[in-house]
Structure 1
Amino acid sequence: MNLAGVGTEVVDLPPGWHFTIDCPNHGLIRFDFEPFSRGGRQELAAQFRDAVWSLRHQVQGNTLKDFVAAGVKPFWRFLDVLREGGNGVDALREIDAAVIRQFLAWLEMQTVTEGKSRGKPWSLSSKKAVYDRMKSLLLNRQKFAPELVSPALAFPKNPFPRVNIATPPREPYTDSELRRIVDAVNADLRTLDAGGPGALSSLQVLAVYLIALAIATGRNPQGLLDLRRDSVRPHPLADREILVTEKRRGYSTQVTSYSKASEEHAGSDQVTTIPLSVGSYVRAAMEYTAPLASTASARHADFIFLYRVERGVRSGETHRLDIRKFNQLAESFVFRHGLKDDRSKSMQLNLARLRPTFGTRLYERTRDVRKVQRALGHSSPQVTARHYITLPETAHRDHTFVGQADTLLARLHVMTGLRRINR
């Protein structure tokens, strides 16, 4: 840490153009702002460097890295275009509302440079992502270095009004597709019951438990990957228990209670090793990876989804399962079971689609948007209905009603308070 005094205030400064952020989830993330400091833009590069450093406790390390790779880098290309046109912007104070409008116009002209979409215009979501990253960095400077920011810096209210329409929500799996996935999970669990833990590879075992939990809870994929050994906790009621998951974005915690497995069922002839409750799934995965906890780093030992690297230069090391690794395992899972979608094509299995699948099925059973909102941990019923329920007419009607009811209740509370004051 590099501390410097500014008057009576102590300021935490980044250690030069090259610095490393130690992210709790992603480890050491290295940054290099020296290339941005060339060509007379040293002051501007320093301000964006300071913004990234300032945000390191609020934003995940990989996200900050993306702020640079997919935010600062394209903005620098835009500045190069301005310079070629004789309108160079080399200092933070020179960025005002007019420059922001020019940046938005430049984004409209960008095309994809590689892959199957090469030559096509950037999608609305891509343009918005670049813009949002730069806006976040500039807002940080407005907050922490206002004396260096132009008073004319302002941002348009909604430069991408149709982005939600252009980017449809993830489609849930159909009933028949979900049944195929569930049957495949059950088949693997029975295989483990008959053949023991060695019947499947350790990574495939983790994938099976993770898919089962995603189906049963609808939780955010990263929240499931981040499950810890104390994530299942006692509930005041004997027949229930609590599952606690964390959401990296926003650093929020979701707490939900679930029914325990029935002791009556546990003693019946119908029982297999397939867990009968969410807590049972978590405990099964926890027990499976318990031997690895002692070999993991202190930072990762408390997490459940651990695996040992079998090959390569890191052979023998214990790592945490991440979403990229899981996606590879999901492909193997689909191949082993020959899973097909309703169009008879190889199924694309990912945890993110299981979340709206859970939301849609819960809404079909309850017709209660608020209940789905609470189960998925959303801030508003509008978000739930728009992105996680595929019954647009009824869902829209219900979440609109819920929103109107909330507004009415808020007004009633205000009126009641005013009456009490008047009395």
Structure 2
Amino acid sequence: MTARRKDYRLDSQPASFSGAPIETLIVRFPDGDGPAQVFDFRAHARRADMAAAIALAFRMHCADKAPQTRTALFVSGIRQWFVFLDTHDPQCWLIRGVDIDAGLVRAFLVWLDTRPVSIGSRYSLWSAMRSLLRWLERCRPDLVAVDLALPYNAFPRKNALTPAREGLGDGDMDAVLAACRKDIDAIWRQHITGQEALARVDRAKIARTLQLRYLDLDDVGVLMAVIIDRCGGIIPPQEEMLRAGAGVSRVVWALKQHGGAQHFARYLYPDSRALIAFVIAIGAQTFANPDALLGFTRDCVGEHPLFDNRAIVGWRKGRASRVQRRSFLRDKTLSPPRLVEQVLALTTPLVGHVTASERDRLFLYASLHGKGRHVGVLNCNIALQQVERFVRDHSLTGTDGAPLKLNLAALRTTGLSRAHAALGYDLLKTQALANHASLDTTRRYVDRPLAREGQARELSRLQGAFVNWVRGDADEVTRTLRISSAAAADIAAGRNATASGFVCRDPLAGVGPDQAPGRLCIAWLGCFSCPNAVIPLDIDTLARLMATRAALGDARTRMAPERFALLYEPKLAILERDILPRFPDAMHAQARERATAIGLAPIE
């Protein structure tokens, strides 16, 4: 069977928009697997020419974007632009694309500054519209004013002025995960009970029995088989089941005996309330953004290439160019790979009831709405409602006694803060874990009072260890290098520091950690390029440094130029430029006499 090719064609549009007809104000994005996504610009028909130019930019710029991205840009960028125009130009003098000039853009930015929203929201509104204006400026400059100019940084210090993201305390997060475990255990137990009951009944015999009065609908397995075989696996609305000729009216009364349709449905498939515990538990451990978390696909778990007891969870992040990946153990109760497997089992009956574009999504749910039913993918609005319900059901409260301020965005902030502490408050490691482009973004996530206290403690510990090392504390050297106390005493006393003023007398002796006698130490002269090197200000140290400079100068005349330039030229430059000039001139004469008596290992 030949695979269907996705249709990337777009509706035709006229090249010029002078006196644009209304038909050009409808933008369609065809989808070979489902209905086309349609955006109607006719609400802005009073400025038809300008609306048509913006519609063209929207159509071309968003051709390869996700449906959610298109919707967000249309709602947050384009609509706000025309709201601004209605306020700025109520008489509709500005109706053409060429009326979009530098002055109008500046007026739009001033108007955004008056909006009662955060600076981050103002930046998002501007960024959405800027992408379309930039496309017009670059690809269709004839549709906008000649002097159109887009400022590089319209909202400076956006990140600095944005308050730190709020997270949950360790105790609050532990309570949330305990509530998730309780819900997940109950939901999974009901699912297993239903599957076992369904496996015990004779499905073929039930299918042959046309009259439901001859079936024992008090049996969970029998009722499940009836709903699967005669209702497509989804419980229909009550009015539909009671309709004459439907033949399933007895199912209504049977469902009431089993606790109601909503309770019984969880034997078959999850509703949004059942899924939210899985969403929270997975989000708390993957640190995924809310949109990315709800966009998990059914193939998001893969095998680990090295460890059989681990699995890799991968997902897409909106502004990232690569797939986000994290590895987890498989055998933990709330391990994300295990939770994903459970969600797959729960939602499998719903795959055939959603559109083709949604069949690869993980968080599918079904619900009854009055006289209809809905099967689809969990979205942010539904998730927000169910998170609030989750907090109420488990009576989760904060330190102030009010309901806990839990949301999906707080999971990422809290998870990264806890990981930051586990990583020793190392921002670089936390940045790599979060896949942030800049350290500033990571800092805004983890900049909390507890994190600042932990960073201060860690910095104090490192500074203390450094001071002890400089002072020659043998115990500290033993712990740091993991060597014997005798070797540490030699290092601390400086018995090996006779070659270059650091911790080496003979770079071929192999006295250093993990070094072999007869082979040049891998750290030879490395301290010259270390910005944290501590050099004692005394004549003996200066003499050894001057002897090293002389030895390097002799080696330059005997060694291949390429080898010297690669291995020793940078160190010699640092020695002559940065180290020796720091010693007082009065010490140089005395040190020069001692330097001639110091013997060094050959430099090769």
Same structural fold, with TM-score higher than 0.5 when normalized by the shorter chain: yes
Shift of 1:359: 0.5
- Over 3 Å counting, the alpha-carbon distance change for 1:95 and 1:298 in structure 2 is closer
What is the TM-score of this pair, normalised by structure 1? 0.76
Q: Residue in 2 aligned with 1:318? A: 375
Q: Residue in 2 aligned with 1:36? A: 44
Q: Of residues 283, 288, 295 in structure 2, which corresponds to 1:219?
A: 288
The CA deviation string for residues 158-206 of structure 1, in whole angstroms up to 9 with x for no partner, is 2222433443132110011111101111222333465556779523331
Q: Aligned partner of 1:359: which letter?
A: L
- Over 3 Å counting, the alpha-carbon distance change for 1:329 and 1:161 in structure 2 is same
- Over 3 Å counting, the alpha-carbon distance change for 1:301 and 1:44 in structure 2 is same
Shift of 1:393: 8.2
Counterparts of 2:30 and 2:168, CA distance in 1: 38
Matched residues, percent identical? 27
Q: Of residues 170, 194, 212 in structure 2, which corresponds to 1:175?
A: 170
Counterparts of 2:453 and 2:96, CA distance in 1: 50
Counterparts of 1:351 and 1:142, CA distance in 2: 38
- Over 3 Å counting, the alpha-carbon distance change for 1:37 and 1:227 in structure 2 is same
Is it true that 1:104 corresponds to 2:109 in the alignment?
A: yes
The DSSP-based 3-state class of the residue aligned with 1:307 is strand
Contact 1:385–1:395 (Cα < 8 Å) also in 2 = no
Q: Of residues 247, 253, 257 in structure 1, which corresponds to 2:317?
A: 247
Shift of 1:380: 2.7
Is it true that 1:19 corresponds to 2:27 in the alignment?
A: yes
Residue pairs, 1:293-308, within 5 angstroms: 293-308=351-366
Q: Of residues 354, 376, 379 in structure 1, which corresponds to 2:434?
A: 376
Residue pairs, 1:95-174, within 5 angstroms: 95-110=100-115, 121-174=116-169
- Over 3 Å counting, the alpha-carbon distance change for 1:46 and 1:85 in structure 2 is closer
The DSSP-based 3-state class of the residue aligned with 2:70 is helix
Shift of 1:61: 3.1
- Over 3 Å counting, the alpha-carbon distance change for 1:161 and 1:312 in structure 2 is same
**Structure 2 unaligned spans of 5+:** 1-9, 16-21, 195-262, 459-528, 530-561, 567-604
Counterparts of 2:139 and 2:57, CA distance in 1: 9
Q: Aligned partner of 1:208: which letter?
A: A
Give the structure with higher Rg (CA): 2
What is the TM-score of this pair, normalised by structure 2? 0.55
Q: Residue in 1 aligned with 2:401? A: 344
Q: Residue in 2 aligned with 1:72? A: 78
Q: When you count strand as a share of all residues, which structure comes out higher? A: 1
Shift of 1:15: 6.6
The DSSP-based 3-state class of the residue aligned with 2:342 is helix
- Over 3 Å counting, the alpha-carbon distance change for 1:84 and 1:34 in structure 2 is closer
Contact 1:37–1:44 (Cα < 8 Å) also in 2 = no
The CA deviation string for residues 96-121 of structure 1, in whole angstroms up to 9 with x for no partner, is 322222222233344xxxxxxxxxx4
Q: Residue in 2 aligned with 1:210? A: 279
Shift of 1:356: 0.8
Q: Of residues 300, 307, 318 in structure 2, which corresponds to 1:231?
A: 300
Contact 2:33–2:356 (Cα < 8 Å) also in 1 = no
- Over 3 Å counting, the alpha-carbon distance change for 1:231 and 1:291 in structure 2 is same
Shift of 1:364: 0.5
- Over 3 Å counting, the alpha-carbon distance change for 1:4 and 1:106 in structure 2 is closer
Shift of 1:331: 1.6
Counterparts of 1:288 and 1:64, CA distance in 2: 31
Shift of 1:252: 4.1
- Over 3 Å counting, the alpha-carbon distance change for 1:169 and 1:99 in structure 2 is same
Is it true that 1:50 corresponds to 2:51 in the alignment?
A: no
Counterparts of 1:174 and 1:25, CA distance in 2: 44
Counterparts of 2:32 and 2:331, CA distance in 1: 34
Q: Aligned partner of 1:361: which letter?
A: R
Shift of 1:2: 2.9
- Over 3 Å counting, the alpha-carbon distance change for 1:80 and 1:228 in structure 2 is closer
Counterparts of 2:440 and 2:88, CA distance in 1: 40
The DSSP-based 3-state class of the residue aligned with 2:358 is coil
Contact 2:364–2:376 (Cα < 8 Å) also in 1 = yes
Number of matched residues? 369
- Over 3 Å counting, the alpha-carbon distance change for 1:162 and 1:25 in structure 2 is farther
- Over 3 Å counting, the alpha-carbon distance change for 1:163 and 1:49 in structure 2 is same
Shift of 1:46: 1.1
Q: Please say which of residues 191-200 and 346-355 is displaced more in the overlay.
A: 191-200
Shift of 1:246: 1.1
Counterparts of 1:51 and 1:364, CA distance in 2: 46
- Over 3 Å counting, the alpha-carbon distance change for 1:327 and 1:122 in structure 2 is closer
Q: Which has the higher contact order (CA 8 A, sep 6+)?
A: 1
The CA deviation string for residues 348-399 of structure 1, in whole angstroms up to 9 with x for no partner, is 2211101010111011111222332232232233321223443358779x9x
Counterparts of 1:347 and 1:158, CA distance in 2: 37
- Over 3 Å counting, the alpha-carbon distance change for 1:69 and 1:320 in structure 2 is closer
- Over 3 Å counting, the alpha-carbon distance change for 1:362 and 1:181 in structure 2 is same
The CA deviation string for residues 315-353 of structure 1, in whole angstroms up to 9 with x for no partner, is 1x4211112111111122111111101111011221110
Contact 2:420–2:446 (Cα < 8 Å) also in 1 = no
Counterparts of 1:85 and 1:244, CA distance in 2: 52
Q: Residue in 2 aligned with 1:2? A: 11
Q: Please say which of residues 133-142 and 183-192 is displaced more in the overlay.
A: 183-192
Contact 1:389–1:395 (Cα < 8 Å) also in 2 = no
Q: Residue in 2 aligned with 1:10? A: none
The DSSP-based 3-state class of the residue aligned with 2:357 is coil
The CA deviation string for residues 198-239 of structure 1, in whole angstroms up to 9 with x for no partner, is 779523331111111011211122222222221111121123
Counterparts of 2:56 and 2:410, CA distance in 1: 37
Q: Aligned partner of 1:172: which letter?
A: G
Q: Residue in 1 aligned with 2:416? A: 359
Q: Aligned partner of 1:371: which letter?
A: K
The DSSP-based 3-state class of the residue aligned with 1:333 is helix
Which runs of structure 1 show a deviation greater than 6 angstroms over 4 or more consecutive aligned residues?
23-27, 393-396
